Amino acid sequence: MKSNFFSSIKSVSVFMLVFLFGCGDSSVVSSDSYNDETPPVVESTSPANGAGTIVGTSIVITFSEAMDITSISANTEDTACTGTIQVSADDFTSCVQMSEAPQSNSDKDSFTLQPKSMLTRNQT
């Protein structure tokens, strides 16, 4: 039973890779003497990792703090694994192509990505 559970999770897992180094938004800090030593973290993703088959759904990534929007990117050219946000179902041999650059909310802590083609089973 336990191996079936882990097998099921493995079969629907998707690996989202987000490179966060240098992504914090320095414009949010008003003092030059302040040194933010806590890197931002991904607080949530929608759909959730391993959500199963989703069709026609945007991907939303929310960070713990405002981000430098110039440091957030995704691949819009092909299925190469490039950009600071990568979505893959095959351990990053290839990645899901996005239809446009990530769009941020007004607080710059949440980014929406739209896959160029519909995600299939094992790509969430």
Inter-residue contact 59 to 47 (CB < 8 Å): yes
Inter-residue contact 92 to 85 (CB < 8 Å): no
Check residue 118 and give its pLDDT.
74
Per-residue confidence at 35, pLDDT binned at 50, 70, 90?
confident
Q: How far, in Å, CA of 50 to CA of 32, rounded? A: 41
Q: How far, in Å, CA of 26 to CA of 65, rounded? A: 11
Segment 50-62 shows an average pLDDT of 79
C-alpha dihedral (40, 44, 45, 50), degrees to nearest 10: 120
Check residue 86 and give its pLDDT.
92
Segment 52-72 shows an average pLDDT of 87
Q: What three-state secondary structure class fits 104? A: strand
Q: Which residue has the higher pLDDT, 13 or 59?
A: 59
